[in-house]
A and B are shown apart, each in its own frame.
Chain A
Amino acid sequence: MAPLLEVDDLRVEFGRGRETASVLNGVSYHVDEGETLAVLGESGSGKSVTAQTVMGILDTPPGRITGGSVRFRGEELLGADPERRRLLRGESMAMIFQDALSALNPVYSVGFQIAEQFRFRRGMSRKDAMVKAAEMLDLVKIPNAKQRVKEYPHQFSGGMRQRAMIAMSLALDPELLIADEPTTALDVTVQAQIMELLDELRRERGMGLILITHDLGVVAEVADRIAVMYAGRIVEHTDAASLYAHPAHPYTRGLMDSVPRVDDVAGAPLRPIPGLPPSLSAIPDGCPFHPRCAHAVDVCTDEVPALRELGSGHQAACHFAERFVAEGPDRPTTHEVVSR
């Protein structure tokens, strides 16, 4: 059976002529029902553009989809009838955003915005829809939901807004939820609560979850599989456990190494990845990561490494992936240190 969502060799460009930025250069991933896929990468790696293309809310122009396919339950979405895609949104796939305050309309009460879904997509009366909205707020564990349903986004705290946003996107019971950095704007304790909530809702409803993040710590707890993105490509893709145990791409290794650890000596310098991500209008030849890679040799500047299978579902786009897998991580991550 076809996976819930399948993205295949997706290519997106922004701008024209010499200014053209290749934002996605052949992104492929898939999500099954009830599964969490984490898409990991720094700003500008194309995580959000992929998500927006999947949802069909990418602004075109300036964006331009130049190739690839997006299939939902086997149905091709790119080039599909816009009305069909609109009906899929909310009903079958939904998305939550990084900053829930700006993702909620300031002039309507939270309940009203959730109720809109029930009114326009389910044909409910205003009153019934508000009752359902309160139930949704209750589902995402907002205390005192019957009162809070009448309040406006600015009266909610940061974590509550994200909960309200989750309630809004789950109103029509979608099978796929894309969470675009859902916890980035929140402080750490609230982050954990939101992640826990998302994980719980995914399990209860058996929906597929794509979790877009740049935070390794967020991913570790909840992801079944992790796809690491760099310069509009997937550079490594495997299940969460083997990514932490055997990172195969130097970029992944660099990311893990740059996270400060609890057992670091106080005052010890951080270990950032040297350099900056490449400009997307001038991606270097060969491996896009080679200018920043400590292990780069001639072949890295000449040949683009393909994303290849290393065995047991572990894929990486590095000429020397096998060597790195055998080596294991440079040092255990905080996650492992803590869980030991």
Chain B
Amino acid sequence: MTEPLTTAPSPGVDDGVVPDNGPGQATRGLWADAWTELRGRPRFWIAAALIVLLLLMALAPSLFTSVDPTVGLLERSREPPGPDAVFGYDLQGRDVYARTIYGAAPSLAVGFLATFGTVVVGSLAGLLAGYSQGWPDSLLSRIGEIFAGLPFVLGGIVILTSFNKPGQIVGAGQLVFQVVLTIVVLTWPVAMRIMRAAAIETSQQDYVKAAKALGAGPFRVVLRHILPNTLAPVLVYGAIQFGVFIGAEATLSFLGIGLRDPVVSWGVMISEARDRVQDIPWALFFPAGFLVITVLAFVMMGDAVRDALDPRGR
């Protein structure tokens, strides 16, 4: 049992004037205050800059490279990084730099959409389950257990092969959508459990009771009093899962049921390169490095947002 209010100052020695905490800026509500807070944090700006750069890469890859990522010349196979190709060439003689740039879009799309879907579906279910605590809780929890009980790889194979017949040609957008759907279906129970636990804990807090005692209806209690106090753990989970989901996409690609040629993604590149680590380490190192930076940027962003939402940290 965690007491969420541990930073409470000791009971006031007197009930008189406590020194004014500087010129407090106008309070305009939770989100406006959080934004004011966020703007003052270097961590937020570093994360934001990285994310903007990555988004630019995803939206306009031609700004960064003029090389076609799918053209492979076998004579250049396994050439190490040099002036021609700063990241070197892979086994098929394709430019690793171009592939990394072009890989950003599908990877980010999968990571972002899967995180968004998981967090939204899971949070809504968790909030409903945790607040009601009656039969909706039992029902949602049991449904969640069914999906959480499916092994990810097995579940992925079942879902994706039932969408596409073997050998069927599928477009990139449709593939991304299918992969995202698979990930969301198989992982939302985790987000639900986190949100449910936080909602149960929060709904037992005195301020929820106090809000009810002052005549707040159920919607206002959930949206204004419970939700802001339960966001922190889900945001952190979402930030960490962002990277995990890009990795999950790679797992599905490796099995031949996720994204595949001609779609380039970091997951596809990593799964192609990992058998030749000793031979052509750069083909693994660069997409993996970009993946790490992306995950780091989102974790930093999640952290900064979480801190900004908590007025006790200010």
Q: Name A's B-contacting residues (CB within 8 A).
A: 55, 57, 86-91, 94-97, 99, 101-109, 111-112, 116-117, 120-121, 126, 130, 143-144, 147, 149-152, 154-160, 163, 165, 168-169, 171-172, 185-187, 189-190, 193
User: Please, which residue of chain A has its CB at the minimum distance from the CB of B10?
Assistant: A158
Flag whether B212 is at the interface (Cβ < 8 A).
Answer: yes
Residue numbers in B under 8 Å from A151 (CB-CB): 21, 24
Chain B facing A: main interface SS:
loop
Q: When the two chains form their complex, are residues B214 and A89 in contact, meaning their CB atoms are under 8 A apart? A: yes
Q: When the two chains form their complex, are residues A111 and B217 in contact, meaning their CB atoms are under 8 A apart? A: no
Q: When the two chains form their complex, are residues B212 and A57 in contact, meaning their CB atoms are under 8 A apart? A: yes
Q: How many angstroms between the C-alpha atoms of A68 and B7 in the bound complex?
A: 43
Beyond A144-B20, A159-B11, 17 additional pairs, beta carbon < 8 A: A86-B217, A87-B215, A94-B214, A106-B5, A106-B310, A106-B311, A107-B30, A112-B29, A147-B20, A150-B24, A152-B314, A155-B18, A157-B11, A157-B18, A158-B12, A163-B15, A168-B210
Q: When the two chains form their complex, are residues A101 and B217 in contact, meaning their CB atoms are under 8 A apart? A: no
Q: When the two chains form their complex, are residues B207 and A169 in contact, meaning their CB atoms are under 8 A apart? A: no
Q: When the two chains form their complex, are residues A102 and B18 in contact, meaning their CB atoms are under 8 A apart? A: no
Give which listed residue, B11, B20, B207, contacts A158 with CB less than 8 A: B11
Q: When the two chains form their complex, are residues B30 and A160 in contact, meaning their CB atoms are under 8 A apart? A: no
Q: When the two chains form their complex, are residues A154 and B311 in contact, meaning their CB atoms are under 8 A apart? A: yes
Residue numbers in A under 8 Å from B28 (CB-CB): 126
Q: When the two chains form their complex, are residues B210 and A165 in contact, meaning their CB atoms are under 8 A apart? A: yes
Flag whether B4 is at the interface (Cβ < 8 A).
Answer: yes
User: Please, which residue of chain B has its CB at the minimum distance from the CB of A193?
Assistant: B15
Q: When the two chains form their complex, are residues B26 and A89 in contact, meaning their CB atoms are under 8 A apart? A: no
Instruction: Indicate whether A97 sits within 8 Å of B206 (C-beta atoms), given known contacts A57-B213, A106-B229, A168-B214.
Output: yes
User: Please, which residue of chain B has its CB at the minimum distance from the CB of A186?
Assistant: B11
Q: When the two chains form their complex, are residues B15 and A190 in contact, meaning their CB atoms are under 8 A apart? A: yes
Q: When the two chains form their complex, are residues B215 and A89 in contact, meaning their CB atoms are under 8 A apart? A: yes
Residue numbers in B under 8 Å from A126 (CB-CB): 28
Q: When the two chains form their complex, are residues A102 and B214 in contact, meaning their CB atoms are under 8 A apart? A: no
The 5 closest A-B pairs by CB, nearest first: A157-B12, A159-B15, A90-B215, A89-B215, A158-B11
Least distance between B107 CB and chain A CB atoms (Å): 34
Residue numbers in B under 8 Å from A55 (CB-CB): 213
Q: When the two chains form their complex, are residues B12 and A102 in contact, meaning their CB atoms are under 8 A apart? A: no
User: Please, which residue of chain B has its CB at the minimum distance from the CB of A163?
Assistant: B15
Least distance between B100 CB and chain A CB atoms (Å): 41
Instruction: Indicate whether A107 sits within 8 Å of B309 (C-beta atoms), given known contacts A102-B5, A155-B18.
Output: yes
Q: When the two chains form their complex, are residues B215 and A88 in contact, meaning their CB atoms are under 8 A apart? A: yes
Q: Name, among B25, B30, B311, B314, the residue most crowded by chain A CB atoms within 10 Å (CB to CB).
A: B311
Q: Name, among B15, B16, B21, B28, the residue most crowded by chain A CB atoms within 10 Å (CB to CB).
A: B15
